[in-house]
Amino acid sequence: MRTLVALMTLLAVGQGALAAGSGDREAARAVIRRQQDAFRQDDAATAYAQAAPAIRSIFGTPELFIGMVRQAYAAVYRNRRFEFGTDEELPDGSLAQGVRIQDQDGTDWEALYTLERDADGAWRITGCRLRKAPGTSA
């Protein structure tokens, strides 16, 4: 009987951890969505606010940040399709979130966002690696 109680306790704890992980996943995706919506509306301040402090310190202003995104990440800035793919919790507690993107010209891309918790506990974007999807011509 004690074994059964212990097993049920472990299962309950495991489900709680899974729920917390899924809550983190949704919170991180919400940050990416918020930034994506801001790009669509040319809202530099909101897009910039989703970036981690280290990223914000590199660019200094929302205008410089959104200018860089327009130039170097055109598929992220303006796209036809933006769909979440797989995600992974990294050993340091940060998250990696894959996104499938189709740019305005119909070219498919893969983006890998990394996110970490800010001092206030909110998720913030620490980077985005963008590459053409396998099988896409250069």
Q: What is the CATH number of the domain that holds 69?
A: 3.10.450.50
Pull the structure tokens for residue 72: 């170097």
Pull the structure tokens for residue 8: 């049920």
In the block, residue with structure tokens 């729920």: 19
27 located within any domain: yes
How many CB atoms neighbour CB 74 within 10 A? 15
pTM for the whole structure: 0.81
The share of the chain scoring above pLDDT 90, in percent, equals: 80
2 located within any domain: no
5 located within any domain: no
14 located within any domain: no
89 located within any domain: yes
Question: Which domain, by its residues, includes 69?
Answer: 22-132
User: Mind listing the pLDDT tens digit for each residue in 44-100?
Assistant: 999 999 999 999 999 999 999 999 999 999 999 999 999 999 999 999 999 999 999
119 three-class SS: coil
pLDDT grade for 135, boundaries at 50, 70 and 90 = confident
For 66, 69, 86, the CA distances from 44, given in Å and listed in that order, are 6, 10, 27
125 dihedral zone (left: phi>0; alpha: psi -120 to 50; beta): beta
Distance CA 26, CA 111 (A): 17
DSSP 42: T
* Better-predicted residue by pLDDT, 19 or 76: 76
38 located within any domain: yes
pLDDT grade for 22, boundaries at 50, 70 and 90 = confident
Computed over every residue of the chain, the mean pLDDT equals: 86
Section 9-24 average pLDDT: 45
Q: Where are the beta strands (DSSP E) in 56-136?
A: 79-89, 95-103, 108-117, 123-132
Number of domains in the chain: 1
30 located within any domain: yes
Distance CA 49, CA 43 (A): 10
